[in-house]
Structure 1
Amino acid sequence: MRRLLTVAVAAAAIAGGSVAVAHAAAPPDFAPANASWLSANEGFVLGLAGCDQPTLCTTLLHTTDGARSWTPVPVPETDLPDNQYRSFPTVVAATAKRLLVWDNNRILETVDAGKHWSTLAVNSPAPSLMITDVRYFKGRVYAMAGSPEQVDLYAAGQDGLDPVPGVTMHRGVSDVQATIAGGDALEVSLTNAAQQWPTSTWRSTDGKTFTQQIYPCYAGEAPIYAEHKPGAPIAAICAGTQPVYPGNWDKAMVLAPPTGGKVTRAPQAPEIGVVAGFALVTDKVAVMPVSGGGVTFMMRTEDAGQTWTNTFTIDGQVWSPDLAFVNGATAYQTVEGTLWRSTDVGRTWQPVDFGGTHGA
């Protein structure tokens, strides 16, 4: 039974009849929540800003000049999380015209830069599903979604998203940590966090055939994969699903050959904070934001996880992990209402000024 029907929404109706035009600045009260980048110059930022409603409204902005100026993109209103364990609505871009915005209940997609939006059906017999992660891979939409009985990977078909045979876990969605990472290969992981025993990961290079991989982490840990680059090792952070003591969580970097195989585990990283993102820049250099106690530490390694250094501390916590390196030096990360940019491979970070300049 299909949980949702595909419905087209006219942009004029969404935006109250307004037409999107380029502006040097974003709305004055715009608070970014997450971003998706197509290149060093072009990306989309999703967040909240004032509108005619009693509360703040979902707001989507587009830049083509490296965050110097912004164009508003019409977007339907989304469901905001009711607690910290549910994702803030997230933007994922495939091209300048094709992108999606998803929350815990639905996936909205446009193929004409926001003029029309469709709700993608998630084809499941379950009466309700919670969506936990969504990605584009080779032009196709993939999503992790679960019910009180099981969690599955879904892939776009002719009429909505269909479950991928075999990539599933028969546990309630509240007991499962599910992640997807893209790049030139699709990495999927399902971990039974509640019972603290490892399950499995799957890898696909074509988006059609999924091969079960050696689980890279210990029991009680879940892998957070970096986006995979051609020729680079497969890299992940094995993050504890239960704190060692308040504010401190186990975490360690693991590597495997590009085609899969034996996993090499680095020593434990500093325990402080919860892993809030991970990016591999080279085969040795990686950046890992960790959040806790109202702050985010931008941890960095130059020796494949053997040692880590906190290179920068940011007030606020990461609620939507979106760390992205748009080239070998420049990266973006959203932290609690502020978009931050690094131009020195994650050593220092500056807030992006949405008033029309590069940053503070």
Structure 2
Amino acid sequence: MAAVTKAIERWACGSVCTSWSRTDTIMAQAPTRHSDFRDHRPLPLSEIYELYSEVVNEGRWTNGLLEMWFWKNKTAKSSVHIPCWDSFKWNPLAWRGACMGRTCEECYWTGLRQTRWARAVYAANLGREYVFPYQNIGHKSYKSDIKALCWMYCLMSCVFSCGIGQIFSFCGNVLFNFGAFYSCHAREKMRRRYKLPSTFGLPPGIDDFLVHFLCFYCASHQELRELAVRGVDGPGMHILDVLPNSFAGAEGSNEAIREREELVNKMTAHPPKFFKSRVKRNPLVLSTVVEVAKETALRAKQGVTDDAGSTATSATSAAPLGWISYPAGAPSTQTMSRDEVDVEQADLLHGPDGKPDWQALGTELHAALPPLQRAWSVAY
């Protein structure tokens, strides 16, 4: 009986709804009640992670499937989404756009659940199956990549439903979302990473498919916000990535937009390996080793530093999800030793002029490559 009660509590207070209460710190940063979110400067995702760190637990959802409108989630919601109701006014004279107070761009980027799903998948790097097979699709910017992924989802939905099911269910908004065959893998990967409970108590994959098939609107909200409060970040995750002009009237918005652009530029300079073509290299060639040494030093120098002072390099990050991750991962300095290799090579890093001597470093690495091809032992 205790096991059954525990399972019910884990389901009811772990996936559909959550049992944690709002804290004073979180509520102090939330937008004013019954106000338009566009009148407030959205918080950076690094601050969102710090605010919710005291309520985020491994193995539990922080945002329930049916908690889209709960006030305790407003702080995180305001940094990734512009809700329809909070921007709606009953008086047409107070509308800010032609689409019931919203512009068409806002409706596209935040009103369609396909786009919310595409933003989460792209920013969190949630699967190889969502990387485009042709390099000329998108790749003009992260916005074009997200749009291409959104159209890919719509195409897969029509393929799986033979074009009939999507029309019958109003493009998947009213149950029968046949695109779940394509989209559910991202939810499954995220749940496995954070040990999140299932919604219907079914095995992974089947449960994720049914959630996307029956309630993709809620699931897209839940996944995007869950990634944000867990410190996962990437191009398209923050609302300022896609709709910076909507916050032009908010106090301090210009500075926030500029800081976000600088962070996104650092991320896109060295995208994750899923989003860049692989170059075949021979590790035994000296010139290649020198090139790798230069690239490694450059990436370490351009590492993204958050408010806590931790450095996360997007290209070599140990974070399992996202382009960068705000939680502190592996230590920045690690002690590794091998009997065959002398690691005290500090004198090779600088030449007579005080600059890095890449030729000497490359020669040493080239000589050390054969024994280093065996397993390392790393102690954290």
TM-score range, shorter chain: under 0.3
TM-score by length of 1: 0.25
- Which structure's CA Rg is the greater one? 2
Structure with the higher strand share, 1 or 2: 1
Q: Relative contact order (alpha carbons < 8 A, sep ≥ 6): 1 or 2 greater? A: 2
TM-score by length of 2: 0.24
Structure with the higher helix share, 1 or 2: 2
